Amino acid sequence: MIVLAIVIPLLTVAAVILILAVYQRRDTRRASRPRGASRRSRKAASPTGAPLSGREVERAAVLARRAADEPPAVAPPAEAPWVKPDEEAIGVSRRQFLNRSIVGFMTLGLSGFGASMLAFLWPPFVTGFGSVVNAGKVDEIKTQVRGENGFLKVPEGRMWITEYPESALPEAREVYSRDVLGGMESGLVALYWKCPHLGCTVPSCVSSQWFECPCHGSKYNQVGEKRGGPAPRGMDHFATSVNERGEFLVNTGKIIPGRPVGTDTTRQEAQGPNCIGQAE
Ligand code: FES
């Protein structure tokens, strides 16, 4: 009796709990269904006509809510049709641009080439050796030569200037070229100070009044004609002339080879002791 008294209330309580749980579940399902959904609509939503499960109904309800929350789809704007650009508005078309570029580059290249050719053909602006040296007035030069014991050294033109005797001019006209005679006629000669033997700088010798090379002993008279030594010829001359103002011009860019061995237009013998050895 005591057992029954305990079991019966327990079973009753369990039955009540079970009934409450069943009802609770039914309420939950009802609440999760979309509004207005009925057994008939569930049947209609199933494509096969089979009744939908509770999970499917829930999914459908969720999708329906999302669809309601999503913003309406906006159609993308239609593309504008292509219209050919107005060349007048642009100013320069692509073809014009290419043509003008080609012409411009060709003009630039030809201009550069022309400038290079002009620079190549134009006489170079040279001073000193290699150019025409204006030594000054003839009379003044003669005074300077005498003041320097017969030999005027002009380092600017790497030359010696000496006097040429007027008495020797007739013979000189038969021996020397017009380039050299241009200065000789005025009584002056311009000699390249480089020895024609092996290139030493030839100094003057005041005592002998000759040029005497210290390297191998070649000797030349006062106008550069060979008097002794191993040199193959006389000293080289520069082309000379006298302009309308009476100035002695020496073209140091134009070297006239010295006269052959044996040339002696002035008959000038050594006027004193030689500076280098003895003349052969
Ligand atoms: S370099 Fe002048 S004599 Fe030889």
Q: Of 173 and 94, which is predicted with more confidence? A: 173
- Show the tokens assigned to 109: 């290249």
For the stretch 245-254, pLDDT in tens is 999 999 999 9
Are the beta carbons of 219 and 210 closer than 8 angstroms? yes
Ligand 1 probe mutation, 205, 216, 235, most atoms within 8 A of CB: 216
Give the rounded distance of the alpha carbon of 47 from its chain centre.
Answer: 83
- CA nearest neighbour of 159 among 126, 134, 187: 134
Q: Is ligand 1 within 6 A of the CB of residue 235?
A: no
For the stretch 220-272, pLDDT in tens is 999 999 999 999 999 999 999 999 999 999 999 999 999 999 999 999 999 99
- CA nearest neighbour of 170 among 254, 96, 236, 265: 265
CA distance 13 to 1: 19
- Model confidence at 30, in pLDDT bands (50, 70, 90)? low
The structural domains of the chain, ordered by start, are 134-156+163-256 (2.102.10.10)
Q: Is ligand 1 within 6 A of the CB of residue 228?
A: no
Task: Tell me the one-letter amino acid at 267.
Answer: R
Answer whether residue 280 shows pLDDT above 50.
Answer: no
Helix and strand numbers, DSSP H then E, in the chain: 8, 10
Q: Is ligand 1 within 6 A of the CB of residue 200?
A: yes
For the stretch 98-126, pLDDT in tens is 888 899 999 999 998 888 888 777 765 55
